[in-house]
Structure 1
Amino acid sequence: MWIYEKKLQYPVRVDTCNPALAQMILEQFGGGDGELSAGIRYLTQRWNMPTNEAKGILTDIGTEELVPSCYQ
């Protein structure tokens, strides 16, 4: 399985959201139906889950989606 730490490599400050830029970045990484997009969706949805178990499941699924298929 995976070991992940809840810490950032560098400090991040986001002042505003930019949906157009986010869409361009996702399209560059395989489009809306790609594995990267699916992994990112799972990892961002985990923040709205009510229980720690649900957060853990979405984290596990999201990180598995980010692994290239040649390693599975």
Structure 2
Amino acid sequence: MWVYQKMLQYPAGTVSTCNPKLAKDIITQYGGPDGELAASLRYLTQRYTMPIPEAKAALTDI
């Protein structure tokens, strides 16, 4: 079995100033139409319609 320890890889710092512009940019990159989540979901959906097994494997590895 294993022991699970809820621990961060790096220490969490405290926020000293509020920067709404930076927060908006970060949220846009993650959840916007051109963000990482949207791109990964596009690759995942395209994977199921690929006729060539090698292309399907490439989309799985992305």
Length-normalised TM-score, structure 1? 0.43
- RCO comparison, higher one (Cα < 8 Å, 6+): 1
